[in-house]
């Protein structure tokens, strides 16, 4: 019967159609670190993360943004009920949801949500989770 030949083709087609997409996006910390340190980022070439975020005191003041060092540790307890990962992701996608003391709404770049891919955001989050 022909059907026995057709079935594997249909399965292959379904696999191909779903390939890559479907599953959750997994972040890569080293890719995230490179992204974080780029001079510009995203589809609109926004100023890069490190143009506002200094690594630590040795690199300069935390006057434009909180230090990168310690982000994961602070993120774990910033908002009750939110994991470090959830908080960091929200800080990038929706920065005004929680504004760090000493800063104002709008100080953080506002539209990364529209300008970074899901993969880039996952990579940035994975990197910042290593900054304990
Ligand atoms: C124009 C300056 C600016 C740029 C560019 C910027 N940030 Fe920020 N960021 C801030 C400021 C100011 C805050 C604190 C105010 C707030 O919570 O919105 C902040 C807060 C954060 C926080 C929360 C930190 C904490 O201690 O709670 C994270 C995470 C973060 N930024 C990640 C990023 C990433 C990733 C990028 C690059 C894709 C980036 N930021 C680019 C200014 C900036």
Calpha distance 122→51 (Å, rounded): 20
Give the pLDDT mean for 120-131. 98
> What are the pocket residues of ligand 1 if the criterion is a CB atom closer than 6 Å to any ligand atom?
36, 41, 47, 49, 51-53, 64-66, 71, 74-75, 78, 88, 91-92, 95, 99-100, 103, 107-109, 112, 124, 128
Query: Is residue 65's pLDDT more than 60?
Result: yes
Nearest to 121 by CA among 86, 85, 92, 82: 92
Give the pLDDT mean for 16-20. 55
Provide the pLDDT for residue 23.
81
The band of 44, judged by pLDDT with boundaries at 50, 70 and 90, is: very high
Residues 6 or more apart in contact with residue 38 via CB below 8 angstroms: 48, 49
Calpha distance 72→127 (Å, rounded): 9
Calpha distance 51→54 (Å, rounded): 8
Calpha distance 132→66 (Å, rounded): 13
Rg (the chain; Cα; Å): 20
Give the pLDDT mean for 32-40. 98
Query: Is residue 11's pLDDT more than 70?
Result: no
Nearest-atom number in ligand 1 for the CA of 96 is 18
Tokens of 132: 């304990």
Whose C-alpha lies nearest to ligand 1, atom 10?
A: 108
């Amino acid at each position: 019967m022909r059907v026995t030949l057709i079935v594997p083709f249909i399965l292959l087609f379904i696999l191909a159609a779903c390939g890559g997409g479907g599953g959750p996006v997994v972040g890569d910390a080293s890719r995230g670190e490179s992204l974080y340190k780029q001079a510009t980022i995203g589809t609109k070439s926004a100023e890069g993360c490190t143009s506002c975020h200094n690594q630590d005191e040795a690199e300069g003041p935390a006057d434009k943004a909180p230090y990168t060092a310690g982000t994961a540790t602070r993120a774990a307890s910033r908002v009750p009920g939110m994991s470090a990962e959830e908080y960091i992701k929200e800080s990038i996608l929706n920065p005004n949801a929680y504004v760090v003391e000493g800063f104002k709404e709008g100080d953080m770049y506002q539209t990364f949500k529209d300008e970074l891919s899901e993969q880039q955001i996952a990579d940035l989050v994975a990197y910042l989770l290593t900054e304990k």
